[in-house]
Structure 1
Amino acid sequence: MSTPQRLETVRRLQTVMASAYATLGAWCLIHPYSVIALGFTPKYIAMSNATTYLFTRCFGAQAMTCGLLLGTSSMTAFSFTAFGLAMIPYIGWNFWFSGIGPSRGMINSLMWLDFIGNVFFMSGSLWCGKVLREEARKSSGEGGSEALLRE
């Protein structure tokens, strides 16, 4: 793959991740009841109350903000790598509440889609960071990865 193709793939992946964050965040913000109904087991759905819905909406607002920032920022190799590594606690959350930790049985099997999404965000971000580092090394005198992304 040529340099322009690799950089276009980075841009597209960034757009996909930003869109996913913003869309899923909007869903949590606008309709928290369906998010809770689809993601949690009946035992925990029964314990839902106004606070649960408020927290789900807050989570959605944060995800929308993350999507907005991810979609409008000029990401560097460092920022992609940091974003990818920041996904580790979310992957841990998936394991902790699905079958390994003391809260096993809290989320249902549909939440494995969240796990897959988190792995996608982590691996995609780390790959983008790697590509930008490699391209910056190739063009060592041309302003680095930030200049490459703007081309």
Structure 2
Amino acid sequence: MAQPQRLETVRRLQTAIATAYTTLGAWCLVHPYSVIALGFTPKYVAMSNATTYLFTRCFGAQAMTCGLVLGTSDMTAFSFTAFGLAMIPYIGWNFWFSGIGPSRGMVNSLMWLDFVGNLFFMGGSLWCGQVLREEATAAKKGDDERRDLLRD
């Protein structure tokens, strides 16, 4: 893929991640009842109360803030890499509560969608960081070559 196309793909991925965070966060904020009913097993849905709904709304507000920041920021190679690595605890959460940890059985089988989404966020962010690092290296190399030509 040509460099301008790769940079456009970086921007599109950033927009996709920002949109996902903002949209899903808004869903948690506006309708926490359906999020809990859809994501958790009946045993845990039955234990839901006003505090559970408040925490779900707070989670949604934070996700919306993250999405808005991602959607309006000029991300650098470092910030994409940091964001991608920040997904590791979320992937761990998927395993802890979905299958291998002591809290298995808390979430239902739809949680694999969250796992796939977190992998997409991590992989996409790390790829974007790599593309921007390559772009910076190429730009520096071009500047060095230009300086060499001016010296001759």
Task: Name 2:107's counterpart in structure 1.
Answer: 107
Following the alignment from structure 1 to structure 2, what is the Cα–Cα distance between the partners of residues 115 and 13? 18
1:43-100 deviations in whole A, cap 9, x for unaligned?
A: 0001000000000000000000000000000000000000000000000000000110
Counterpart of 1:25?
A: 25
Rounded to whole Å, the distance in 1 between the matches of 2:141 and 2:56 is 47
Could you tell me which runs of 5 or more consecutive residues in structure 2 were left unpaired when the two chains were aligned. Answer: 144-152
- CA distance in 1: counterparts of 2:133 and 2:127, whole angstroms: 10
After TM superposition, which residue ranges in structure 1, 4 or more long, deviate above 3 angstroms? none
- Residues 1-150 of structure 1: pairs in structure 2 closer than 5 A: 1-140=1-140
> Per the alignment, in what secondary structure is the counterpart of residue 79 of structure 1?
helix
Q: What TM-score does the superposition give when structure 2 sets the normalisation length?
A: 0.92
For 2:40 and 2:94, the matched residues in 1 are separated by 12
Q: Please, what TM-score do these two structures have when normalized by structure 1? A: 0.93
C-alpha RMSD over aligned residues: 1.1
Cα separation, partners in 2 of 1:52 and 1:142, compared to 1, 3 Å: farther
How has the CA–CA distance of structure 1 residues 66 and 142 changed in structure 2, closer, same or farther, with 3 Å as cutoff? farther
| C-alpha distance in 2 between matches for 1:28 and 1:86 | 21
Q: Give percent identity, aligned residues only.
A: 85
Looking at structure 2, the residues matched to 3 and 108 of structure 1 have their Cα atoms a distance apart, in angstroms, of 42
For residues 99 and 108 of structure 1, what CA distance do their matches in structure 2 show? 10
Partner of 1:147: none
The runs of 5 or more residues in structure 1 that have no matched partner are: 144-151
